[in-house]
């Protein structure tokens, strides 16, 4: 883990954000993505690595660089340990959808960034893996929340009207990405 230095202003903002128990629930996720909330945070668990994170990554219109670096590391390809910068639009969609679900339970991350080698291996085992998957560009995540159904999570993500939402009910996860607005699956 690398050492990170914070400016006094950044530290004060992080401490102020930690006093907030929950970000405001927006009736319209699109408004939330455009900055109507004071903070944005993301809470996830990765069963493959055993890691957890609960991170404020945006305060009053500014992304927090060290928080984004931590998200990049958390969402790494666990098979190869390769990292890639995760597109902030995908992070925002994930956070907004989680907010709409009105739960404190973290996401379970099944897949974030995928190296080309991992994507090729998964593609050889399943027809459901795209050759040019947005996972390889750091623009997608496959997620679940045990207390919410695939349908509930997919509806929340689709309400953001900001990217792709795939429902994988048989495998119990939802794909979210920052590509064109579209939906698939059941």
- In DSSP notation, 30-64 reads HHIIIIISSEEEEEEEETTTTEEEEEEEEETTEE-
Four-residue CA torsion sign, 149, 155, 181, 58: negative
Classify the phi-psi angles of 2: left when phi > 0, otherwise alpha if psi is within -120 to 50, otherwise beta: beta
Domain ranges of the chain: 8-185
- Residue-wise pLDDT for 34-85, tens only, equals 544 589 999 999 989 999 999 999 998 999 999 999 999 999 999 999 999 9
pTM: 0.79
Out of 9-18, 21-30, 34-43, 169-178, pick the least confident: 21-30
Are the C-beta atoms of residues 79 and 113 closer than 8 Å to each other? Answer: no
- Residue-wise pLDDT for 134-178, tens only, equals 999 999 999 999 999 999 999 999 999 999 999 999 999 999 999
Q: For residue 141, what are the β-bridge partners?
A: 176
Q: Which one is the CATH code of 8-185: 3.40.50.1000, 3.40.50.300, 3.40.50.970, 3.30.1380.10?
A: 3.30.1380.10
Confidence check: pLDDT of 1 > 60: no
Q: 29 falls in which pLDDT band (50, 70, 90)? A: very low
Are the C-beta atoms of residues 90 and 140 closer than 8 Å to each other? Answer: yes
């Amino acid at each position: 883990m690398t050492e990170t230095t914070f400016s006094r202003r950044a530290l004060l903002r992080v401490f102020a954000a930690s006093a907030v128990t929950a970000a405001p629930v927006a009736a319209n996720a699109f408004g939330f993505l455009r900055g109507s909330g004071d903070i944005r945070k993301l809470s996830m668990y990765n069963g493959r690595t055993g890691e957890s994170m609960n991170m404020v990554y945006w305060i009053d219109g500014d992304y927090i660089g060290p928080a984004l670096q931590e998200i990049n590391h958390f969402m790494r390809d666990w098979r190869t340990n390769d990292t890639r910068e995760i597109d902030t639009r995908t992070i925002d969609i994930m956070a907004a959808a989680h907010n709409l679900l009105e739960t404190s339970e973290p996401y379970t991350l099944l897949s974030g960034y995928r190296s080309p080698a991992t994507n090729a291996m998964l593609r050889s085992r399943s027809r459901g893996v795209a050759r040019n998957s947005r996972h390889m560009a750091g623009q997608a995540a496959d997620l679940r929340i045990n207390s919410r159904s695939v349908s509930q999570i997919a509806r929340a993500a689709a309400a953001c009207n900001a990217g792709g939402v795939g429902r994988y009910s048989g495998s119990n996860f939802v794909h979210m990405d920052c590509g064109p607005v579209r939906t698939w699956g059941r």
